[in-house]
């Protein structure tokens, strides 16, 4: 299959996208790389010069670039176009006929695949949501790819993007491979990204305990978000009585407390039985002007019950182990009042991340709270680098790696105190460290590099004309059942 890849400017996101494209090439597919940096920058310059309007010079550039892409697809016999998010198409001309908005590229009759590193609800801080008109990106030829089934279901049900497919993350095991001859200087590496909340007084109190009460923190957070969630529901449905809105909020919060690893839509549906407002609220979500914005606000409130987990775990472990923090989030955590201690590596270029993992005996990964299921790329970056991964548990983690028994492929934990116990035992056992690092690397290269995801992506492209959402995950069999 031949893909025309529209590669936008950027740093890590661009690098991950390019790794995916090289995985397609490794799987035997042809990829034409179209770097659209000049087009994006020039379009911004012309639009700004026109006071923010898409004036004649900007429209002229759009038409010129559209013609170039159309000629390329036709002359090179491309079978599909693949983009990162929807950005490249937002800058091209759109046609509006009979109340529907369609891309001028739709006339090419090839699938257009949108790879979402962040779900539309969170990408660019949610600023894309108002632009995701259903008639723009819901119909053929548009196909959407996101890393987990929970987010895929939200995109289909809330945004109407019915052709949303599950494409689990992969990794380039050349970019992320062991650095030979590098001696570890740190006990633990922590990826410190942006977007985490400040600590509450109760969290800071619990950080002084040898075994923090995670359940108590989650209940404290639930009490904090209950009122805000009720306000969001009432703001969407101003005629609703307060008791019914409160009942729906309470039921939704309880579902989150009971099982944070379930997809958010499942939790919302389970809460529906507790309130006669649930069905009305769901209908309202589909009719509000800024499609998805209310859902994003409501689910963001619910997920605040978990949003503290990453900086809390990092702060707890950093007071006991020699820690290096990778990324600018470390200084943000300090400003917010998180008592993190260790060496700050600062912002590290994408292609040097594996070096910092090699400088650490173990690397921590606490997956972001915006996703309820699925793995983030960091797990695979760490295991691909041959460094033992210490990962906060997810329900489907054992679909990717063997967790138990005498030969685990990574170390998983549910609470910070358990993470400290795993780390302490691993640091005292060189053979265990060596085994976990090697076994994680073996599993990653054998099953989880981007070349292994190519078939999923190609099948998604070939279903572009189908109406229902189709989920195409990796095989769900437990790794323990595989040799």
Q: What is the pLDDT of residue 467?
A: 42
Residue with tokens 């369609």: 102
Cα dihedral sign, 47-48-49-52: positive
Q: What is the pLDDT of residue 369?
A: 77
| Average pLDDT across the chain, whole number | 87
Stretch 358-369: mean pLDDT = 94
Say yes or no to pLDDT of 168 above 70.
yes
Query: Predicted confidence band at 471 (pLDDT cuts at 50, 70, 90)?
Result: very low
Stretch 202-228: mean pLDDT = 97
Say yes or no to pLDDT of 239 above 60.
yes
Q: Quickly list H helices, 237-376.
A: 242-258, 264-271, 278-285, 293-303, 309-318, 329-336, 353-358
Q: What is the pLDDT of residue 283?
A: 66
| Angle formed at CA 208 by CA 202 and CA 212, multiple of 5 degrees | 70
Q: Which helix (H) or strand (E) covers residue 5, if one does?
A: strand 2-7
Stretch 284-307: mean pLDDT = 79
Say yes or no to pLDDT of 476 above 50.
no
Say yes or no to pLDDT of 209 above 80.
yes
Better pLDDT: 408 or 56: 408
Do 2-170+452-462 and 186-199+308-448 have matching folds?
yes
Which CATH number applies to 186-199+308-448?
Answer: 3.40.50.2000
Flag the least confident range among 67-71, 234-238, 277-281: 277-281
Say yes or no to pLDDT of 136 above 60.
yes
pTM, rounded to two decimals: 0.90
How far apart CA 235 and CA 192 sit, in angstroms, is 35
Q: Which two tokens stand for residue 323?
A: 């820690």
Question: Could you read off the pLDDT of 180-208 as tens digits, one per residue?
Answer: 999 999 999 999 988 899 999 999 999 99
Stretch 69-85: mean pLDDT = 92
Which CATH number applies to 2-170+452-462?
Answer: 3.40.50.2000
Query: Predicted confidence band at 137 (pLDDT cuts at 50, 70, 90)?
Result: confident
Cα dihedral sign, 128-129-134-139: positive
**% pLDDT > 70, the chain:** 88
How far apart CA 29 and CA 7 sit, in angstroms, is 17
Say yes or no to pLDDT of 390 above 90.
yes
Stretch 429-439: mean pLDDT = 96
Stretch 41-54: mean pLDDT = 78
Report the chain's terminal Cα–Cα distance, integer Å. Answer: 31
Residue with tokens 């559209």: 66
Return the domain boundaries, the chain.
2-170+452-462, 186-199+308-448, 215-303
Q: What is the pLDDT of residue 469?
A: 42
Q: What is the pLDDT of residue 48?
A: 82
Nearest Cα to 351, choosing from 390, 383, 389, 381? 381
Query: Predicted confidence band at 436 (pLDDT cuts at 50, 70, 90)?
Result: very high
Question: Could you read off the pLDDT of 451-466 as tens digits, one per residue?
Answer: 999 999 999 888 875 4
How far apart CA 7 and CA 356 sit, in angstroms, is 27
Q: What is the pLDDT of residue 472?
A: 40
Q: Which two tokens stand for residue 91?
A: 């800058």
Question: Could you read off the pLDDT of 315-344 as tens digits, one per residue?
Answer: 999 999 999 999 999 999 999 999 999 999
Q: Are 337 and 315 in contact (CB under 8 A)?
A: no
């Amino acid at each position: 299959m031949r893909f025309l890849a529209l590669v936008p400017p950027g740093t890590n996101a661009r690098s991950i996208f390019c790794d995916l494209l090289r995985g397609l090439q490794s799987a035997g597919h042809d990829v034409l790389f179209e770097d659209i940096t000049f087009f994006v920058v020039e379009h911004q310059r012309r639009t700004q010069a026109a006071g923010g309007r898409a004036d004649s010079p900007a429209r002229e550039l759009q038409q010129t670039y559209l013609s170039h892409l159309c000629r390329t697809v036709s002359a090179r016999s491309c079978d599909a176009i693949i983009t990162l998010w929807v950005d490249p198409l937002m800058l091209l001309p759109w046609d509006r006929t009979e109340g529907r908005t369609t891309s001028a590229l739709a006339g090419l009759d090839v699938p257009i695949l949108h790879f979402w590193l962040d779900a539309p609800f969170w990408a660019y801080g949610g600023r894309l949501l108002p632009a995701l008109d259903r008639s723009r990106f819901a119909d053929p030829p548009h196909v959407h790819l996101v890393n987990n089934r929970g987010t895929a279901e939200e995109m289909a049900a809330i945004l109407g993007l019915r052709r949303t497919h599950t494409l689990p993350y992969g990794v380039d095991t050349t970019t992320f491979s062991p650095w030979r001859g590098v001696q570890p200087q740190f006990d633990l590496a922590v990826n410190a990204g942006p977007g985490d909340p400040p600590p509450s007084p109760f969290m800071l109190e619990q950080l002084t305990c040898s075994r923090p009460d995670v359940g108590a923190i989650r209940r404290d957070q639930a009490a904090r978000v209950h009122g805000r969630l009720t306000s969001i529901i009432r703001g969407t449905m101003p005629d609703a009585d307060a008791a019914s809105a409160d009942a729906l909020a309470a039921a939704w919060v309880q579902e989150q407390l009971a099982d944070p690893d379930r997809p958010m839509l499942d939790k919302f549906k389970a809460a529906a039985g507790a309130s006669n407002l649930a069905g009305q609220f769901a209908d309202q979500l589909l009719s509000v002007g800024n499609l998805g914005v209310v859902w994003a606000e409501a689910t963001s409130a619910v997920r605040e019950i978990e949003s503290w987990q990453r900086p809390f775990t990092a702060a707890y472990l950093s007071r006991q182990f020699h820690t290096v923090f990778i990324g600018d989030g470390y200084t943000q955590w300090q400003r917010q009042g998180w008592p993190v201690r260790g060496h700050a590596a600062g912002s590290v270029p994408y292609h040097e991340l594996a070096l910092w993992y090699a400088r650490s005996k173990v690397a921590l990964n606490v997956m972001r709270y915006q996703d309820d299921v699925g793995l983030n790329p960091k797990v695979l970056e760490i295991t691909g680098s041959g460094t033992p991964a210490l990962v906060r548990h997810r329900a489907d983690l054992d679909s990717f790696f063997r967790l138990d028994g005498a030969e685990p492929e990574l170390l998983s934990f549910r609470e910070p105190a358990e993470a400290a116990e795993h780390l302490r035992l691993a640091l005292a056992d060189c053979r265990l460290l060596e085994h976990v690092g090697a076994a994680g690397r073996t599993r990653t290269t054998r099953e989880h590099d981007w070349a292994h995801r190519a078939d999923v992506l190609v099948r998604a492209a070939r279903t572009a004309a189908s109406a229902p959402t189709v989920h195409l995950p990796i095989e769900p069999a437990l790794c323990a059942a595989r040799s």
